[in-house]
Amino acid sequence: MRGAIRIDENRCKGCELCAVVCPKQVIEIADYFTARGYRPALYNDPQQRCTGCLLCATICPDAAITVYREARAERAVSV
Ligand code: SF4
Ligand code: SF4
């Protein structure tokens, strides 16, 4: 399954839990600071490796991550 995530920088506190838990290693920590003084998590997935597994969103203590999953195309059924 293919997935993607969106990280809300305004909620992120840069705890790095999502980056550690992601099995595809597509989350990194920014080298800049937000207005609140945190280095936010960044989604960097040029090869579309995210599977939409939800681990990052589940572990995030600040509910900063939204996960999207690609809808499966319906298969034609022959009779
Ligand atoms: S949904 Fe899974 S694969 Fe995708 S970024 Fe989050 S932890 Fe990584
Ligand atoms: S787990 Fe949440 S708060 Fe922590 S770095 Fe990731 S997005 Fe930010």
27-68 pLDDT tens trace: 999 999 999 999 999 999 999 999 999 999 999 999 999 999
Q: At CA 16, angle to CA 24 and CA 11, rounded to 5?
A: 110
Rounded to an integer, what distance in angstroms lies between the CA atom of residue 7 and that of residue 29? 11
If one counts the domains in the chain, the total is 1
pTM here is 0.90
Q: Which of 5, 33, 43, 62 to mutate to test the pocket of ligand 2 (most atoms within 8 A of CB)?
A: 62
CATH number, domain with residue 32? 3.30.70.20
- Domain assignment present for 16: yes
Residue 79: pLDDT band with limits 50, 70, 90? low
Domain boundaries, position 58: 3-69
Query: Is the pLDDT score of 74 beyond 90?
Result: no
Nearest CA to ligand 1 atom 1: 52
Question: What pLDDT is recorded for position 38?
Answer: 98
- CB 42 less than 6 A from any atom of ligand 1: no
- Domain assignment present for 76: no
Rounded to an integer, what distance in angstroms lies between the CA atom of residue 7 and that of residue 42? 7
